[in-house]
Amino acid sequence: MRLFFRFAAAALMCSTCAAAQADARVIVKLRDQAVGLRQAQAVERTRSLAQRLGIALAHRSQPAPGMLALQASDISIDDLLARLADDPAVEFAVEDRLRTARARPNDTLYDSQWYLQSSEVSAIAADQAWDIVTGDGSVVVAVLDTGIRPEHPDLAPRLVPGYDFITDPALSGDGDGRDADPIDVGDFIDAAAQSDPDLQAICGASLLAQDSSWHGTRVAGVVAAAGNNSTGISGVAWNTRIQPVRVLGKCGGFDSDIIAAMRWAGGLAVPGVDLNPTPARVVNLSLGGEGACTAAYNQAIQELLARDVLVVSSAGNETGPVESPANCASTLAVGGLRHIGTKVGYSSLGAEVDVSAPAGNCVTTTLPCLFPIDTTSNAGTTTPGASTYTDGNSPNIGTSFSAPQAAGVAALMLSANPSLGPNDLIDRIKSTARPFPQDPTIPTCPQTATGVDNIGQCNCTTTTCGAGMLDAGAAVAAAAAPVAAITAPATATAGTTITLDAAASTAMAGRTIVDWLWTIVSAPAGASLTSAGAESTGLQLPAEGSYLVRVTITDSSGASDEAVHAVTVSAAVAPPVTTQPEASGGGGGGGDAGWLLPLMLLLAWPWLGERPRCLRRSPKEIDRPSVDCRTRN
């Protein structure tokens, strides 16, 4: 079994290599076959298809009516699927994959990682997501925290260069300010630290003694500890890269350092610091404090959003309102759950929470803790010691460890579909979240229990704990689906036809978009589409009003997505009526007819020269004959 998982991990890291070495197997659905073909007919259809494609195809079986299982050598699966998609007789073609038992890492402590499995109500079902993807080395998650212990065997293979953004040396504890060394030296408070005037000026005079937390090392392990390496634990995203960014010291970290670190992690410029050579797609903030989201945080988050960087933040551990920066718009705010799916007592709650995930809870009042979040750590109580792991006797709990589960799920989703933006990730995580269960022995949030054994607990609602319980398997399956997009004008004029184009739609690597279906959702009478089943179509606009059109796309694996587009159509404007300018008068306005009067005068000149003199007649002479001035002599 170990050999299988080692092979599977290698295959995931080099899928194109594997495809080139193995025969390409596909399942093809023919358009014109509603009933099953006889074997001889099926073989003949296979032969005909092979001739058109110029590929040697071997017929294997008929999985369903009109469906053929085929095999080809000396061609990659991607190339074969692409060529099949272009054949007019093929309705769809998908890879015929070898399926195995559920992917389960061989990490020695994986059995204790209940929060990744499917045995408890609130567990995130990462084991189901791993059947689709286990992470990708091109996806980077920045962990903004206390730094990291880079020698930990479950983290060392996953690291990319990070940075230390703590400006104040006393807070940092490493003797200097910002530098390119994100190593966690320990955030302990001993007698020397308690009497340090510089540290007291930052943290206050009543500093309490504390051991080093190794918080960043713990958070990083939840996100992406190396999986299936026969060592320790598995992270949510096995093969994702971790970027350690140090922002928290002896008693925390300043917003200015955190915001600078957020921007640097996402590839934005920070004065005095070189650009990040490996920008992150996901930024994890397992930190926070009271108060509303500030304009500074909001600006940084919006700048990151524009660069397709998702910010994930823990809701807080104060039972009260969601803390900052989790309460900032456009972040993925994560609340904490008990193993049974109700809100864990200490988790903050409120409308700003997007989704909730296990945060760890002990049930018993004595050790061992029954449901901690086991992860990577260090044995040193002050300065670093041996690499180790948390467990029931050294429990790890808090929404600080709910957030990295969501960050890891986002990394898996990006591994499946790199084209997803932050809003896509948030929408799909929320839409696939599982409903909260109900415990009749506790109140419904925002009211919380007050008992000694259940203080702070309550039944979650979608207005207090987010859309539901984080579901890694469903979220990654949703991410693997294609992303529909429509390119078209937003305004037009009645009586015209505009083009709607779905060419910007994308599919997961290894898949192609094979079907488009355009429909008019709402429109004035007479509206019509020129083609309902093509990548692009024309929309005829007979009258003014609002038009809403939907496209549904389907990829070669049968997954689908849809997008809608609205067009506002104004009434057609009648062309202006043009009039001939007057021939007399002084002024401009003659336009192109200005030559007409001189020409008429020129033609009339001989006649004018011969015209008799016309006399004015008095009333007495009214009956006398006179020369008719309107005719020539």
Backbone angles phi, psi at 328, to 5 degrees: -80, 145
In this structure, the chain runs to a length of 633
Task: State pLDDT tens for residues 375-419.
Answer: 999 999 999 999 999 999 999 999 999 999 999 999 999 999 998
pLDDT bin (cut points 50, 70, 90) of residue 30 is confident
For helices 403-416 and 215-224, the axis angle rounded to 10 degrees is 40
What's the CATH fold of domain 2-95? Alpha-Beta Plaits (3.30.70)
More confident residue, 100 or 89: 89
Topology classification of domain 110-182+214-479: Rossmann fold (3.40.50)
- Cα–chain center distance at 271: 28
Of the candidates 372, 266, 357, 259, the residue with the CA atom closest to the CA atom of residue 315 = 357
Q: Is residue 431 among the annotated active site residues?
A: no
* Chain segment 320-375, per-residue pLDDT in tens: 999 999 999 999 999 999 999 999 999 999 999 999 999 999 998 899 999 999 99
Structure tokens that stand for 397 in this block: 């709990």
- Residues 247-291 pLDDT 10s: 999 989 988 889 989 999 999 988 889 999 999 999 999 999 888
Q: Is 400 one of the catalytic residues?
A: yes
* H or E stretch at 333: strand 332-337
Q: Beginning with the edge strand found earlier in the chain, give each strand of the sheet holding 282-285 in spatial order.
A: 163-164, 241-246, 140-145, 282-285, 310-314, 332-337, 355-358
Per-residue pLDDT tens over the stretch 153-208: 999 999 999 999 998 999 999 999 999 999 999 999 999 999 999 999 888 888 89
User: From the candidates 212, 400, 415, 505, which is the catalytic residue?
Assistant: 400
Q: Which of 59, 152, 215, 565 is catalytic?
A: 215
- State residue 240 phi and psi, 5-degree precision: -70, 155
Give the other-Cβ count within 10 Å of 631's Cβ. Answer: 8
Percentage of residues in the chain having pLDDT higher than 90 = 67
Indicate the average pLDDT of the chain: 86
215 is catalytic: yes
Write the CATH number of the domain with boundaries 482-570.
2.60.40.10
The C-alpha atoms of residue 456 and residue 449 are separated, in whole angstroms, by 5
* Segment 541-553, tens digit of pLDDT: 999 999 999 999 9
Q: What is the dihedral of CA 17, 128, 377, 109, to 10 degrees?
A: -100
- Sequence ranges of the domains in the chain: 2-95, 110-182+214-479, 482-570
Asked whether the beta carbons of 344 and 338 are under 8 A apart, the reply is: yes
pLDDT tens string 445-501: 999 999 999 999 999 999 999 999 999 999 999 998 888 999 999 999 999 999 999
In single-letter form, the type of residue at position 567 comes to: V
Amino acid 343 reads: K
Look-up: residue for tokens 């206390």?
146
Given a contact cutoff of 8 angstroms between Cβ atoms, the answer to whether 126 and 222 are in contact is no
The C-alpha atoms of residue 108 and residue 127 are separated, in whole angstroms, by 16
Distance, CA of 140 to CA of 308 (rounded, Å): 13
Q: Which of 127, 145, 555, 561 is catalytic?
A: 145
Ramachandran category for residue 214: left, alpha or beta (phi over 0 → left; psi -120 to 50 → alpha): left
The torsion angle over the Cα atoms of residues 142, 420, 400 and 197, rounded to 10 degrees, is 40
